[in-house]
Amino acid sequence: MNEQRPLPLPAIWNMSFGFLGIQFGWGLQMANMSAIYEYLGASESDIPMLWLAAPLTGLLVQPIVGYYSDRTWTRLGRRRPYFLVGAILSSLALIAMPNSSALWMAAGLLWILDASVNISMEPFRAFVADLLPPKQRQVGFAMQSLLIGLGAVLSSALPWLLTHFGIVETDVAAGGIPWSVKLAFYVGAAVFFAAVVYTIVTTPEYPPTKEDLAERAQAPGSFFRDVFHGIANMPLVMRRLAVVQFFTWLALFCMWIYFTPAIARTVFGGLPGTVEYQRGLEWGGVCFAVYNGVAFGVAFLLVALAQRGVPARLMHRVGLLCAGAGLISVGFVSTPEMLLVSMAGVGVGWATILSMPYALLANAIPPKQMGFYMGVFNFFIVLPQILAATLLGPVVQHLFGGRPIVAVMVGGACLLLAALALSWVPEPKAAKSAPAAA
């Protein structure tokens, strides 16, 4: 491995800028997919299963991309070829998604979109650890959190902004996916591609050393053997973070699936196909924009605190507690404006969720396996989402009496459990390089 040099903040901004586009794609999906499914005729109990595309594609794609990006070197670099391929495919899927004419078409496009986003996203986590020395990685991941927040704010609020400022007319009677959503997805495709290309152009990668080239010239190992060996030998920090990630992402999936339909019913008093329900859906986008906007602002604070040596674990615990309190409070809110206060708490947690677990992890895993272990770490994000997608529908229908607001509050309780589990995660020191076979 090349010796990593400290980089100035503008260079860290450039290497992270692609996450603005990646999160623009994610933000449009998170804020609008449940509504798109309902516009195309899905029932509320069907929606969690239709969301399975995101966790399943992440489970399959991220470890594979991480494993092979550790072993890649081309004229474009090591991680950057994956950035570019993922950006092209994601942009095409974003353009096609709002033109879905049937439920099966939207579900299929979501699989393609999620697979493509994961191709770009996974190497970005390893990219920061590749280029920054251990003392700057916390700053690098906090910078990613800042740009993720900015991208998510713009994408989540975009349909509401297009309607509110009269760029697109509200037309509930016409049925189908509103033009505000369609135009937002088109804008998202352009932003996604442009942001990723900006990082590719402005941020070179370290060339491989003679040692790296000699290792690549040897006979390749077995992918499945290396994967199982790597999982069996995960660092202690990674194993304990797995519990924190499980409860965290179970909570987030509860929010992403049910928050918008829940407030459309409980706060706005609407049913699918009514003006009140559409207003609730658009306000849900505003709420998502608020929590992402707060995360954007908090990310500046995280960068400053990281530069001053405040422990990542402490910042993450505070964030999880704020987010848990925010989601639980949604069940007691009766006005749209008060929802924004609840989502501000979620935003504090979202800022740390996007950065601090990776800062804790990056210094605990061998540098030559950075991409692989970042991909494996994604298991503990997607497995709880798969669990939620398969069980939440029946649970909400039969145990919660068809009230999605209860699922949102259960998500808040899960975040409090994640904060408790974080107590068992040690603050790691930088790991030494290990043999590439794992």
Total count of domains within the chain: 1
Residue type, 85: V
Contact 22, 124 (CB under 8 A): yes
The pLDDT score that the predictor gives to residue 213 is 62
Residue 114 lies in a domain: yes
The DSSP H or E segment spanning 49 is helix 47-50
Report pLDDT digits (tens) over 72-119. 888 888 889 999 999 999 999 999 998 888 888 988 888 889 889 888
The pTM is what? 0.73
Residue 317 lies in a domain: yes
Question: From CA 402, how far away is CA 350, in angstroms rounded?
Answer: 27
Q: In which domain, by residue range, is 166 found?
A: 9-204+235-424
Question: From CA 76, how far away is CA 152, in angstroms rounded?
Answer: 28
The pLDDT score that the predictor gives to residue 80 is 92
Contact 37, 103 (CB under 8 A): yes
- What backbone phi and psi angles, to 5 degrees, belong to 191? -65, -45
List Cβ neighbours of 201 (8 Å cut-off, separation of 6 or more): none
Residues of the chain with pLDDT under 70: 1-4, 44-45, 53-54, 167-176, 210-222, 272-273, 428-438
Residue 258 lies in a domain: yes
The pLDDT score that the predictor gives to residue 317 is 95
Residue 389 lies in a domain: yes
Question: From CA 203, how far away is CA 133, in angstroms rounded?
Answer: 16
Question: From CA 217, how far away is CA 211, in angstroms rounded?
Answer: 10
Residue 431 lies in a domain: no
The pLDDT score that the predictor gives to residue 438 is 28
Residue 225 lies in a domain: no
Tokens standing for 208?
């491989």
* C-alpha closest to that of 342 among 353, 331, 355, 326: 326
Which CATH number fits the domain that encloses residue 22?
1.20.1250.20
Report pLDDT digits (tens) over 208-219. 776 666 665 554
* C-alpha closest to that of 320 among 417, 423, 425, 428: 417
Question: From CA 258, how far away is CA 284, in angstroms rounded?
Answer: 10
For the purposes of burial, counting CB atoms within 10 Å of the CB of 133, is it exposed (0-12), middle (13-18) or buried (19 or more)?
middle
74: β partners:
77
The pLDDT score that the predictor gives to residue 403 is 80
If you write DSSP's letter for every residue of 237-275 in order, what string do you get?
HHHHHHHHHHHHHHHHHHHHHHHHHHHHHHTT---TTSH
Residue 3 lies in a domain: no
The pLDDT score that the predictor gives to residue 216 is 59
Residue 222 lies in a domain: no
Question: From CA 370, how far away is CA 117, in angstroms rounded?
Answer: 19
